[in-house]
C-alpha cells in the first residue's frame, strides 16, 4: 500500500495555521475612552524599547525624504510612493506585534518586503486608485460649483466672496470623500501582514472596524491634534518665527541661524519619534478591535 504521506505537499504542515490566520476576525465596538488608552499606549510601547523604535523612526524619516523627492517625478513618483505605503506601515505593525512577544528588531520595519508583499502592493494600488477617484469627483464638484457661483455672482458682490465659498465647499467635499478612504486603508496593512488577509478583504474589514469605532477614534484624533497644536505653539512662542524669517532678507546672522538649525533639528528628532509612537498606538487599537477569531468578551461584539 503506497505511503500517502509521500504525496503530501511540503507545505501541508502549515495549512492549519494558514487557515486560522485568514479566519474572519470578530470586530469589537469599543467605548470612547479607548481612544485615550490607544494614544498613551503608543508612548508606553515606545519607551519600552526606545532605541529600537528610534532606529525604525530614523529609517522612516530617510524614506520620507526619498518619497518627497520621488513626488517630483510627474504621476509616476506619486504612484510609487502610494504603492510602497502599505509595506512600510506593515513594518510598523509587525514591529509592534513583535514587541508584545519581546522580539522587536529594527529590521522588522522591512517585514512587508519578505511577507505578504504582493497583497501589500495590491493594497497600495487600490489606495492610489481610491485617491484618484476622490480627486476626479472633487474636480467635477468644484467645476459645477464654479459654474454655478459664476452665473449667480453679481457686480455688487466682491469677487472674493464666491471664491472663498467655493474653497470652503471644495474643502468639505474633499474631506468627506477622503474619510472613507482613510477608514478603508487604516487597518489594511496590519490585517495583511499579521492576519494574512488578501488586500480587498483587508480594506473591507478596515472600513467596518473604523466605522464601528468612529467615536473612540474621534477622541484619539482630538488628543493627537491638541498635542501637536501645543508642540507647534510652543515653537512659535519661543523661537520668534517672524524674526527668523529676516535671515533670508538681511543676510547671515549666526544667532538667527542657530535658532533655525535648532528648529530643524528638533523637528527631525520629533519626526523620528512621532511615527513610532503614532503607529504603536494604531497597533494598540488594532489589537483591541480585532479579536483574531476568538471572542474574549461577548458583550463587545456588534
Determine the Cα–Cα distance for residues 90 and 112; give it in Å rounded to an integer.
6
Determine the Cα–Cα distance for residues 5 and 148; give it in Å rounded to an integer.
73
pLDDT by 10s per residue, the chain, length 302:
444 444 443 333 333 344 344 567 788 999 989 988 998 999 999 999 999 999 999 999 888 888 878 878 887 888 888 899 999 999 999 999 999 888 899 999 999 999 899 999 999 999 999 999 999 988 888 787 767 666 655 544 555 566 677 677 777 888 888 999 999 999 999 999 999 999 999 999 999 999 999 999 888 888 888 887 777 777 666 665 555 555 555 555 565 565 566 666 666 777 788 889 999 999 999 999 997 543 333 333 34
Determine the Cα–Cα distance for residues 92 and 282; give it in Å rounded to an integer.
9
Amino acid at each position: 500500500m503506497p505511503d500517502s504521506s509521500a504525496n503530501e505537499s511540503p507545505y501541508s504542515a502549515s495549512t492549519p495555521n494558514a487557515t486560522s490566520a485568514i479566519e474572519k476576525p470578530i470586530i469589537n465596538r469599543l467605548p470612547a475612552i479607548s481612544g485615550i488608552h490607544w494614544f498613551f499606549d503608543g508612548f508606553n510601547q515606545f519607551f519600552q524599547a526606545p532605541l529600537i523604535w528610534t532606529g525604525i523612526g530614523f529609517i522612516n524619516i530617510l524614506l520620507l525624504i526619498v518619497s518627497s523627492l520621488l513626488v517630483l517625478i510627474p504621476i509616476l513618483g506619486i504612484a510609487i510612493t502610494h504603492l510602497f505605503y502599505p509595506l512600510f506601515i506593515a513594518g510598523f505593525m509587525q514591529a509592534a506585534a513583535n514587541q508584545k512577544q519581546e522580539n522587536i528588531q529594527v529590521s522588522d520595519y522591512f517585514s512587508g518586503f519578505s511577507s505578504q508583499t504582493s497583497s501589500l502592493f495590491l493594497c497600495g494600488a487600490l489606495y492610489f486608485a481610491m485617491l484618484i477617484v476622490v480627486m476626479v469627483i472633487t474636480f467635477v464638484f468644484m467645476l459645477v460649483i464654479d459654474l454655478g457661483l459664476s452665473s449667480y455672482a453679481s457686480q455688487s458682490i466682491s469677487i472674493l466672496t464666491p471664491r472663498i465659498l467655493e474653497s470652503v465647499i471644495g474643502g468639505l467635499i474633499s474631506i468627506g470623500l477622503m474619510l472613507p478612504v482613510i477608514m478603508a486603508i487604516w487597518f489594511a496593512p496590519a490585517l495583511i501582514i499579521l492576519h494574512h488577509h488578501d488586500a480587498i478583504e483587508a480594506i473591507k474589514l478596515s472600513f467596518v472596524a473604523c466605522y464601528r469605532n468612529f467615536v473612540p477614534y474621534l477622541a484619539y484624533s482630538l488628543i493627537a491634534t491638541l498635542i501637536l497644536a501645543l508642540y507647534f505653539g510652543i515653537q512659535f512662542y519661543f523661537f520668534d518665527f517672524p524674526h527668523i524669517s529676516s535671515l533670508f532678507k538681511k543676510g547671515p546672522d549666526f544667532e538667527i541661524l542657530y535658532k533655525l538649525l535648532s528648529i530643524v533639528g528638533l523637528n527631525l528628532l520629533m519626526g523620528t519619534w512621532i511615527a513610532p509612537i503614532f503607529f504603536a498606538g494604531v497597533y494598540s487599537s488594532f489589537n483591541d478591535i480585532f479579536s483574531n477569531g476568538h471572542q474574549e468578551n461577548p458583550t463587545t461584539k456588534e
